[in-house]
Amino acid sequence: MEIVKGWSFSAIFLRLLLATLVGVVIGVEREYKNRAAGVKTHVLVCIGSALVMITSEYIYRQFPEAKADINRIGAQVVSGVGFLGVGTIIITGNKEVKGLTTAAGLWACACAGLAAGIGFVEGTLIALAFIFLALRVLRITDRRIHSKSHFMVLIIEFDMMSDFKDFIMTLKENKIKYSNVSMNENHSVADNAAYITLELPKGMESKKVYDILMENEHIRYFVEM
């Protein structure tokens, strides 16, 4: 670690190697989930960020009379990488937002790259461990929390949109509140879809809603967003 914190060819090489490691680990996890930003994207972001910090230190060491701020260029990476992250966020045809985790991962990857670039090995490795923990382990926790949520966002396709009124009556009978209703009524049966947010009463699980949907013979298809 002392070598990395110094200023030599070996130090620069090890810093960029460390940044590459961070990008590979985070990128593989995203690639495994088949996300838009995979290994190559994360590696390039992390190496680029590290190089920015190395360049800042180079300027500081080579031109001390310039009184350069070693943090200034790196600060632009922290804010600028947000534009790259935005490119991974999409809104699907089902009105579902995807890519937020990947965008946050890119930003965190850039920050880890900055730490690697300045030779802060301990911080880089600890950050890598926590980022990986957040992406892999906390995903399980997120699913469990979501399964116990009192809110559900559904896309439901009916035989005819007139069947939607009967479905609303069923919700009221079961004391299920609804909101954010958006209906797409078309001459094509396949387009008779409704987007709806449900608020389940206390004690009711999502399985009850699934049973209601399955028992309705006028519902052709449904999916939870």
Higher pLDDT, 25 or 138: 25
Phi first, then psi, for residue 80 (nearest 5°) are -70, -30
**Crossing angle for the helix pair 9-32 and 121-147, to the nearest 10 degrees:** 10
Phi first, then psi, for residue 224 (nearest 5°) are -90, 135
pLDDT tens-place string over residues 36-45: 677 888 898 9
Residues 142 and 168 in one domain: no
Residues 196 and 140 in one domain: no
Residues 55 and 163 in one domain: no
Q: What is the pLDDT of residue 14?
A: 92
CB atoms within 10 A of CB 17: 13
Q: Which of 89, 118, 146 is the last residue of a domain?
A: 146
Per the prediction, the chain carries an average pLDDT of: 82
pLDDT bracket for residue 189 (50, 70, 90): very low
Residues 50 and 85 in one domain: yes
Which residues span the domain enclosing 48? 2-146
Higher pLDDT, 148 or 25: 25
CB atoms within 10 A of CB 20: 18
Residues 121 and 199 in one domain: no
Residues 32 and 113 in one domain: yes
Residues 134 and 161 in one domain: no
Residues 176 and 136 in one domain: no
Residues 117 and 9 in one domain: yes
d(CA 56, CA 12): 12
Provide the whole-model pTM: 0.64
Q: Which of 123, 146, 169 is the last residue of a domain?
A: 146
Residues 29 and 44 in one domain: yes
Q: Mind giving me the DSSP string for 91-156? A: E-TTS-EE-HHHHHHHHHHHHHHHHHHTT-HHHHHHHHHHHHHHHHHHHHHHHHHHHT-SEEEEEE
Q: Which of 146, 161, 186 is the last residue of a domain?
A: 146
The Cα diameter of the chain in Å comes to: 79
pLDDT tens-place string over residues 111-155: 999 999 999 999 999 999 998 888 877 777 766 766 666 788 888
Residues 119 and 165 in one domain: no
Q: How many domains does the chain have?
A: 2
